[in-house]
Amino acid sequence: MPTAPGTAAAAAAEGRSPPQSFSHMGSVCSSRSSAPVEASPTTKMPSLKLVYFDGKGRGEPIRWILAAGGQAFEQEKFGFEEWPAKKPTTPYGSVPLLEVNGKPLCQTLAIARYAGTIGGLVSTDPFKNALGDEAADTMAELCSTFFSTMFEKDAEKKAADEKKLFEETMPKIFGLWESRMSTKFFTDDKPIWQDVFLGHWLSRFAEINPQLIAKYPKLTALKDAVLQIDGVKKYLANPPTYSIPL
C-alpha cells in the first residue's frame, strides 16, 4: 500500500527514514466461525514469524488476523535505528514480512490474505471473498491517505487534507459500505479475514475520531463483533507493548 515519500508513515511502512514523532496516532486496515481454527491431528501447521517494526502500524491487523484464526506465530520486532541494516535483507526493502517455514512473504494484503486462508477465515462463496477484498483494498488505500495526512508538515495543507479525508472521503466510503451491509459482518453472519482487517482499522479510527464512526451503526456493530472473535479477544486481553507509538 503506497505511502507518501519522506513521511513518518512511510518510514513505519517501508523504513525509508526515522520519524520524529508519532503523537498524532494515539494508542490505536474455512471454519467461518468466531472461534479459532484448530489443526487436525494430520495437519502440520506452518512455522510463522512476523517481521515488523516494534509498533502497531501495518503489522497490527496481520496480528489480529493470525490471532482470529488461532495461528501461533513468532515476532521479530526492531527499532528504526536497526532498519538501515535490515532493509537490504528484505525482498522489496519494506515490511511487514511474514516468514513461512523460513520463506519470505511480503506486502500487507498478501500476508493478510494468506494468514486468513490458513486460519480458515475465508468464505466458500468466491463472490463474498471478492467483495471482502474490495473492502480491504479500499481500507488499505484509506490508511495510506490517513498516514500521509497525519504527517504532512505544511500546516495549511495538513488542515485541508484532514478536512477532506474526515468530512468527504471517509464518509463517502463508510456510507457506501453501510448501505451494502445486511449481515453481521461485511458479507455474511460469520467472519472472514477481511472483516478482521476492517474491524482493526475501524477500531483505530474510532479512537481517533469516535464521532465519525458512530454515524455508521452497521460498521460499528462489525467493529464490535470483530472485537468479540475469540482469538482477537484473547490477543487483546494481554496485548504486546511496543516502543514505537504508531
The reported pLDDT for the residue numbered 44 is 79
Place of cell 479459532: 36
As to burial, measured by CB atoms within 10 angstroms (0-12 exposed, 13-18 middle, 19+ buried), residue 26 is: exposed
What size, in residues, is the chain?
246
- Write out pLDDT tens, residues 16-69: 444 433 333 333 333 333 344 444 444 678 999 999 999 999 999 999 999 999
Tell me: pLDDT of 216 over 60.
yes
42/73: higher pLDDT = 73
Strand partners, 97: 51, 106
Cα(41)–Cα(16) distance, rounded to whole angstroms?
44
User: Burial of 154 by CB count in 10 Å (0-12 exposed, 13-18 middle, 19+ buried)?
Assistant: exposed
Is this prediction's pTM over 0.85? no
Residues 6 or more apart whose CB falls under 8 angstroms from that of 121 comprise 30, 31, 32, 37, 65, 68, 69, 191, 192, 193, 195, 196
Spacing of C-alpha 242 from chain mean position: 16
pLDDT value at residue 27:
32
What confidence tens digit (pLDDT) does each residue in 140-184 have?
Answer: 999 999 889 877 999 999 999 999 999 999 999 999 999 999 999
What tens digit of pLDDT does each residue of 90-147 get?
999 999 999 999 999 999 999 999 999 999 999 999 999 999 999 999 999 999 998 8
pLDDT of 230 strictly over 60: yes
At 49, phi and psi to the nearest 5? -140, 120
Q: For position 40, what pLDDT does the model report?
A: 43
Per-residue pLDDT at 33: 36
Task: Answer whether residue 13 shows pLDDT above 50.
Answer: no
The average pLDDT across 67-77 equals: 97
Q: Residue 148 and residue 4: Cα distance in Å, rounded?
A: 6
- The confidence score (pLDDT) of residue 245 equals 79
Query: Cis link prior to 36 (omega < 30° from 0)?
Result: no
Question: Which of 3-17, 23-37, 204-218 is predicted most confidently?
Answer: 204-218
